[in-house]
Amino acid sequence: MASLGHQGGSRLGLAGLAVMGQNLALNVAEKGFPISVYNRTASKVDDTVDRAAREGNLPLYGFKDPGEFVASLQKPRVIIILVKAGRPVDETIELLSSFLEPGDCIIDGGNEWYENTERRAEAVRQKGLLYLGMGVSGGEEGARYGPSLMPGGAVEAFKYIEDVVKKIAAQVDDGPCVTYVGPGGAGNFVKMVHNGIEYGDMQLISEAYDVLKSVGGLTNKELHETFAQWNKGELESFLIEITSHIFSVKDDKGDGELVDKVLDKTGMKGTGKWTVQQAAELSVAAPTIEASLDSRFLSGLKEERVAAAKNFKELGVSDILAPSNVDKKELIDGVRKALYASKICSYAQGMNLIRAKSMEKSWNLNLGELARIWKGGCIIRAVFLDRIKKAYDRNPDLANLLMDPEFATEMVERQGAWRKVVTLAINAGISTPGMSASLAYFDTYRRSRLPANLVQAQRDYFGAHTYERVDQSGWFHSEWHKLASAL
C-alpha cells in the first residue's frame, strides 16, 4: 500500500474501482504509467493493490483518503472517474475538486448522458479545471488489455493524456483505437450511439440464431460450428466470435448446454433507450436499433408471454408454426447474407445519428475515424468497420452507407436471400423485428416515391397542415371535404 511517500509521483489517478475501473487502472500501470487509485469503499483499494502485485508488481498505488490521493499525482493532475452515471459522478467531482488546482483535469469514463458532461464541464471550468467525457468500450477484458476510447471535451485536456490513452487503447493495423472525438459531450454521445448499434447487432444475431434453430432445426453443436465458420468471413467480429463460444459451453449444473438454461429476459442500462430518444429528437430513422429496444422490452414480459403462449395454444396457434421443409446448408447461407445486410443497415442508422448531432452541435465529427477506433477493443468491433472507414474516406459527405458503391452492390447481391429468410420466419411464426426493420429501411430508402403523399393529404384534410406538390413549387391547402362532397 502506498503512502505519502509517493506524493507527487503518479502520472494520473483513477477513482472508482468496480470491475471497469480496476481493470483500466491495471492496464495503465502495465503500460508503464504510475497510477494512484482511490475508492470510497476501502476494501476495493486493497483488492486492486493486491491484484497489481500479483500481476507483475505493477506501479499502482492505493489511497483511502481523497486528499492524499490527489496529492500523490504529478501536476497538472489528471483524474479518471469510473463510477455509476448520474449523481455519484457529481458527488465524486465535488469531493475531488476541493483538492484540485486550476489547470488540473477530470475525466469521466462512464456511460454518461452527454448533456450532463457538458454541464459538468462548465461547472469545473469556472474553477479553472479541464474536463473530458470519455467513452470506454470493451467490457472487463477490453479495459484490462486494450479498450476503444472515445474522449471528448477540452482539447487541452486530451493533450494531457494523449500519450497514455494511445498506449492503453487497443492497437489495430492503422493505429491505436482512440482519437480526440470532438468538443463538449461528443465523446459520450458517440459512445452512446456505439451502444445503440451494439443493441441492434445483438438483436440481429439472436434472430439469426432463432431462425436457424426454430426453422432449420440446428443443434447447439451445429450452431457453434456455423458461427465459428461465419467468424472467418465477412461477419468476422467480436460478437459473432463469442456467440460461437456460447453454444459450446456445457451446463455445469445439469445436462446439455448452458445457453438453453439462460432465462429469455434481457437486461439493459439505458444507453440504447437514449439512442432511440435522440434518433426521435433529431428526426433520424433508426428502426433496427428501435426494434432491438422494443424486443428487450417484450422479453421482460416473461410471465405475460408464458400466459399468452398457453392462451394461443388453446386457440390452435402453437409457439412455433409448422416450419417449411428447408435445406440446412441453403438456410445457413441465406441467414448469413440476411444478417450481414441487416447489420449494414444498423450501422448506417447509427452513423447517420452521429452525423445529425454533429451538425446540430457543430462538432465536426469524423465518421471514418470513429469507424477506425471501433475496429479493436470495443464490443462492436468487426472486420467490416475497416470498409466503413474506407467508405467515409472515399466520400466524407456520404449521405448513407447504403449509397457507398461497394455496400450498395453487396445489399443488392444479398437482398434475395434476405427476403427469403424474413418470409420463412414470418411463415413459421418466428419474429425477426431487427431483420424486418432493416429490410423495411432498405426498401424505403431505395424508393423514389413513397405513400407519404397520402399521409400528407390526410394531414391537410383533418388539420389544414398544407402540402407541397410534385408539379408546382410552394405550399397548398385544399378543402378536401368540400371537393369530395361535390363529386
41/320 Cα distance (integer angstroms): 50
Report cis status (omega within 30 of 0) of the bond before 147. no
Give the DSSP letter string of 54-87.
HTT--SEEEESSHHHHHHTBPSSPEEEE-S-SSH
Query: CA distances (Å), 277 to each of 119, 193, 441, in order?
Result: 20, 11, 18
Residue 226: Cβ-neighbour burial (10 angstroms; 0-12, 13-18, 19+)? buried
Catalytic site includes residue 265 = no
Neighbours of 333 (CB within 10 A): 13
Catalytic site includes residue 304 = no
Catalytically annotated residue among 30, 44, 112, 191? 191
Cell of 365: 465529427
23/17 Cα distance (integer angstroms): 8
Q: How many residues does the chain have?
A: 487
73/12 Cα distance (integer angstroms): 6
DSSP 94: H
Q: Hunting for cell 496529492 — which residue is that?
A: 71
DSSP 324: P
First to last CA, the chain: 90
276/268 Cα distance (integer angstroms): 13
Q: What per-residue string of b and e applies to 111-137 under the rule 16 or more CB within 10 Å gives b? A: bbbbebbbebbeebeeeebbbbbbbbb
444/287 Cα distance (integer angstroms): 11
Query: CA distances (Å), 4 to each of 1, 35, 71, in order?
Result: 10, 14, 8
407 — phi, psi (to 5°)?
-70, -35
Catalytically annotated residue among 30, 118, 198, 290? 198
457/464 Cα distance (integer angstroms): 9
Active site residues: 191, 198
